[in-house]
């Protein structure tokens, strides 16, 4: 028994024009200045939280490349995040490598893992892909606990990672840079590099190929786009970037353990993407702010009902701003230009 279905059904993601995927130069500079200046005025704990925001922003950005650009769907980003975190932690603690050098390794390991996972995922679309990636995210903590890898991963106990000090050069110049501050700026630089690379990737031939697959797979393949290659490539790139975020996360939190990377993390990253606006790269930052701070706010409103408060906030956001922060930003922009015009 087979059913014929018209292809007119709605795509997974509403199409986003390429121009609308990044931020204008002025807005970028203002945002960058804000990110660079704020840490000098706040306490160390807030700096740590800001570092986590940046790290989650990188992970959400990675998901945005996968979903927003290539139209694939993943609830399994926490698995790649965990892989990246473990790669970095093992290289730092067992091999004694410099923390900054471990990030490219985390990226490569995760790129390969993502590319390989992308191969079976090729045959799946929409909800089936969500399920398969969901399965990956649920299985990951169990796999990390396996006795076979215990020598390297530390099993259930996890691994403790030493926190890097700021380079000597600052001390010799008479500047006192705390560990948190140094890590924040280190993360900021990595985040900016990744952002620029991602924007350029989406502007390139590969990015256009991915977007054409998102908008209409059949038309894309008719135009000569290698659908299979670009879909797996999107998976690989996304996993690689998530791996870097994971590595940074391990360094910032100074600890990796299997139960730190459950399906909760994957769901959080997914929500971050929806809240930030699917396919709008700067929205990743807004999404990351949501991930880090909204659960705290919910906890403040009511201890027993924090989950419910979180859910209600989420529902408000998807009702009022179905396109997330992107909608807010574009609304503000058009208001601004209207005010200037009158």
Question: Where do contacts with other proteins occur on this chain (CB under 8 A)?
Answer: 1-7, 10-14, 67, 73, 120, 123-124, 126-128, 130-132, 134-136, 138-139, 142-143, 145-146, 218, 267, 270-271, 273-274, 278, 304-312, 314-315, 318-319, 322
Q: How far apart are CA 78 and CA 81, in angstroms?
A: 5
CB of 279 to other proteins, least distance (A): 10
CB of 205 to other proteins, least distance (A): 25
Nearer to other proteins, 24 or 126 (CB): 126
Nearer to other proteins, 5 or 172 (CB): 5
CB of 178 to other proteins, least distance (A): 36
Cα distances (angstroms) measured from residue 278 to each of 68, 143, 169: 5, 30, 41
Task: Measure the CA dihedral 324/128/198/38, to 10°.
Answer: 40
Q: How far apart are CA 264 and CA 261, in angstroms?
A: 8
Q: What phi and psi values does residue 87 have, to the nearest 5 degrees?
A: -60, -50
CB of 293 to other proteins, least distance (A): 16
Q: What phi and psi values does residue 145 have, to the nearest 5 degrees?
A: -80, -10
Nearer to other proteins, 252 or 294 (CB): 294
Cα distances (angstroms) measured from residue 5 to each of 2, 8, 11, 122, 257: 10, 9, 14, 20, 46
> The tokens of 207 are what?
């990015």
Nearer to other proteins, 7 or 34 (CB): 7
CB of 216 to other proteins, least distance (A): 10
How many C-beta atoms surround the C-beta of residue 10 within 10 A? 6
CB of 99 to other proteins, least distance (A): 31
CB of 290 to other proteins, least distance (A): 11
Q: How far apart are CA 81 and CA 204, in angstroms?
A: 26
Q: What phi and psi values does residue 256 have, to the nearest 5 degrees?
A: -125, 135
Q: What phi and psi values does residue 192 have, to the nearest 5 degrees?
A: -65, -45
Nearer to other proteins, 2 or 172 (CB): 2
CB of 233 to other proteins, least distance (A): 19
Nearer to other proteins, 37 or 148 (CB): 148
Q: What phi and psi values does residue 282 have, to the nearest 5 degrees?
A: -60, -25
Q: Report how far Cα 312 is from the mean position of its chain's Cα atoms.
A: 24
Nearer to other proteins, 130 or 251 (CB): 130
Nearer to other proteins, 51 or 78 (CB): 78
Nearer to other proteins, 46 or 122 (CB): 122
Q: Is the dihedral of CA 111, 66, 317, 19 positive or negative?
A: positive
CB of 212 to other proteins, least distance (A): 15
> The tokens of 78 are what?
């926490």
Q: How far apart are CA 244 and CA 107, in angstroms?
A: 5
């Amino acid at each position: 028994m087979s059913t014929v279905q018209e292809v007119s059904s709605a795509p997974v993601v509403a199409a986003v024009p390429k121009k609308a995927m990044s931020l204008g130069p002025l807005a970028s500079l203002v945002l960058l200045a804000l990110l660079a200046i704020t840490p000098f005025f706040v306490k160390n704990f807030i700096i740590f939280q800001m570092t986590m925001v940046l790290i989650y922003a990188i992970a959400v950005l990675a998901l945005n490349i996968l979903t927003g650009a290539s139209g694939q769907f993943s609830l399994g980003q926490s698995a790649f995040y965990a892989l990246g975190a473990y790669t970095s932690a093992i290289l730092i603690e067992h091999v004694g490598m410099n923390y900054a050098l471990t990030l490219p390794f985390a990226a490569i390991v995760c790129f390969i893992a993502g590319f390989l996972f992308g191969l079976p995922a090729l045959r799946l679309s929409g909800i089936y892909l969500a399920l398969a990636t969901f399965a990956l995210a649920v299985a990951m903590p169990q796999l990390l606990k396996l006795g076979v890898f215990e020598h390297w991963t530390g099993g259930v106990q996890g691994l403790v990672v030493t926190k890097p000090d700021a380079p000597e050069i600052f001390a010799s110049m008479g500047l006192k840079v705390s560990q948190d501050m140094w890590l924040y700026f280190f993360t900021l630089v990595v985040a900016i590099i990744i952002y620029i690379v991602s924007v350029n990737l989406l502007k390139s031939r590969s990015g256009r190929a991915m977007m054409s697959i998102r908008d209409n797979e059949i038309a894309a393949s008719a135009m000569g786009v290698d659908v299979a290659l670009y879909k797996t490539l999107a998976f690989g790139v996304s996993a690689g970037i998530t791996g870097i975020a994971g590595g940074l996360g391990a360094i910032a939190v100074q600890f990796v353990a299997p139960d730190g990377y459950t399906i909760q993390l994957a769901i959080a990253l997914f929500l971050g993407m929806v809240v930030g606006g699917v396919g709008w790269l700067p929205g990743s930052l807004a999404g990351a702010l949501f991930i880090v701070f909204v659960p705290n706010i919910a906890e403040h409103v009511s201890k027993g009902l924090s989950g419910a408060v979180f859910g209600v906030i989420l529902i408000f956001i998807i009702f009022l701003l179905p396109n997330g922060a992107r909608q807010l930003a574009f609304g503000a922009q058009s208001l601004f230009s209207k005010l200037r015009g009158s």
